[in-house]
Amino acid sequence: SKMTVKAVKMSCTAPNVYTKVPDGGWGWTIAFAFFFVEALTYGIIKSFGVFFNDLMESFDETNSRISWIISICVFVQTFTAPLSTVLSNRFGHRLVVMAGGVLISTGMVTAAFARSVVDMYVTIGVISGLGYCLSFLPTVTILSQYFDKRRSLVTAVASTGECFAVFSFAPAITALKEQIGWRYSLLSVGVLQLSIIICGSLLRPIIIKEQDEVAVKARPPEEPTETKYMLENEQTRTSIDSIDSGVEITTSPSNVPGKTKAEPKSEEPKEHVQMLVENDSTPPEPKTKLLDFSVMKDCSFICYAFFGLFATLGFFAPSLYIIPLSLSLGISKDRSAYILSAMAIAEVFGRISAGWVLNRKPIRKIYIELICVVLLSVALFAFPFASEFWGLMTCSIFFGFMLGTVAGTHIPLLAEDDVVGIEKMSSAAGVYVFIQSIAGLAGPPLAGVLVDTTKNYSSAFYSCAAGMILGAVFLSLVRPCKVGLCHRQRHRAEESVTEVVADLPDDFIEMDIGKAENSGKGCDSV
């Protein structure tokens, strides 16, 4: 049988129907779209550091106040993640992502005409931040639905769009600013982000139908399966009764409550069976929840959410402060941009390497993630010890590689059974990113306050490393919590089975045999 079921008209707007997760097909187009969505969302956010000094000079503001632009943007992006999940479940991923592209472009273009840092808070922070959420989360969610065995590798490779964007955007925007200024450069970025609308139009929904369900629909009209099965049981009962086995089949009419006498073997049982089938109404399919908060009852998910909360502290600040740190060390602007680009290229290899390793079988993916988080903490601690260009370049490459191993896999890992599984991933991703919003809001401003207080950019990297270490602690608890929960559920199931068996009378077989013998004697007397 073919994997794809031709149950719907094939077009760009119709959903794809499969009998199982395709691990390819239209999923490759989704991966292509996700590559560009990553580039135009997180790629732009991480490249925003090239505007920092220009904004500080134009608005005459401190480091921490400028940092609030990205902080508000990241906070809105993560805080509205449940809204993105609800809208995607209600209106579909395609429409939500296209609407997000419009918001992103609108906010960025409007920011080019801002007259104060507060205007930037509203345009980039709120408007574009909401657009980032509506564009990114639905895309990564639907991509995970198209892949199973290759999910880790495909998601990791597709997420490298963010890295290529930082590698190309940082030098390009720097050069563009020299020609037309930072305002028109920001305007050009906003126009470019309209491409997200095209990417969103490619997100065709997917429907997975079991093989048995498809086979039943494809079968020509015939006698209902349930009726046929019950009639076969009736015939079996007749044959068993004819040899006086003394055992009655529970599907026969003689076992229906209220029946105390044997029924004659005629066409009446068939009519009775047909009546049962006609009266048996199919229960309505349960409605899909727009947002399932039951994941909050899962201890393993709670630990994983706390990991994301603290690890987020180390995701954005290094990309924002690597250029100011390099300038404070006397490195030129051009060479500073190359450091950021080198970090992005290293992140590409980190994402691909992590995807390849996590795609191996058998492997406990949560432990690989834990090792990567610990090494990422080490990379953050190494930055303050760099004192010249090549030292900073080495730290950036190491950090970029380890960041790629974590950033490209921490959301797709929600689909693994160690966390919540693919069935609840959509809601879990919304709640998970929502919890991250606290760190997204507090992380960069906290680093900015430390920089303004100590007059040293190294303090920003220390705060990021501290958050990453706390994240590693909670990540190490995910698997033990999941194993403990499974053991408790298995123990409860065994206890319930034991109670059911204990409630059964020891002589229930003898009672049924005696009943059959009495029925047989009654028929003989007649």
Q: In this structure, what CATH number is given to the domain that contains residue 170?
A: 1.20.1250.20
Question: Are 195 and 304 contained in the same domain?
Answer: no
175: in domain: yes
Question: Are 336 and 189 contained in the same domain?
Answer: no
Question: Are 299 and 179 contained in the same domain?
Answer: no
Residue type, 101: G
Its domain, for residue 148, covers 15-210
More confidently predicted of 196 and 456: 196
More confidently predicted of 481 and 258: 481
226: in domain: no
Residue of 158, 147, 185 lying closest to 37 (CA atoms)? 158
SS3 of residue 289 by DSSP = coil
Using an 8 Å Cβ cutoff, are 121 and 68 in contact? yes
As a whole number of angstroms, the distance between CA 159 and CA 416 comes to 18
Tokens representing residue 197 in the block = 């609308």
As a whole number of angstroms, the distance between CA 299 and CA 296 comes to 7
Residue after which a domain boundary falls, among 171, 190, 210 = 210
pLDDT in tens, 304-359: 888 888 888 777 667 777 878 888 888 887 788 788 778 878 888 888 888 788 77
More confidently predicted of 292 and 138: 138
395: in domain: yes
228: in domain: no
Residue after which a domain boundary falls, among 164, 186, 210 = 210
SS3 of residue 252 by DSSP = coil
Question: Are 312 and 458 contained in the same domain?
Answer: yes
Residue 220 has a pLDDT of 53
Residue type, 28: W
Using an 8 Å Cβ cutoff, are 373 and 472 in contact? yes
As a whole number of angstroms, the distance between CA 104 and CA 45 comes to 11
Residue 43 has a pLDDT of 87
Residue 312 has a pLDDT of 82
Question: Are 426 and 336 contained in the same domain?
Answer: yes
pLDDT band at 412 (very low <50, low <70, confident <90, very high): confident
Residue with tokens 């319930």: 496
84: in domain: yes
pLDDT, mean over the chain: 75
Question: Are 304 and 197 contained in the same domain?
Answer: no
Question: Are 167 and 27 contained in the same domain?
Answer: yes
Lowest mean pLDDT among 44-53, 315-324, 459-468: 315-324
pLDDT in tens, 119-178: 999 999 999 999 998 998 888 888 888 887 787 788 888 888 887 887 788 788 888 988
109: in domain: yes
510: in domain: no
Residue after which a domain boundary falls, among 210, 227, 252 = 210
Question: Are 197 and 320 contained in the same domain?
Answer: no
Q: What are residue 16's DSSP bridge partners?
A: 206
Residue with tokens 């034991």: 498
- Helix residue ranges, H only, 160-288: 161-192, 196-201, 211-218, 225-242, 268-279
Tokens representing residue 127 in the block = 């408007």
232: in domain: no
Count Cβ neighbours within 10 Å for each residue of 99-125 and write b for 16 or more, e otherwise: bbbbbbbbbbbbbbebeebeebbebbb
If one counts the domains in the chain, the total is 2
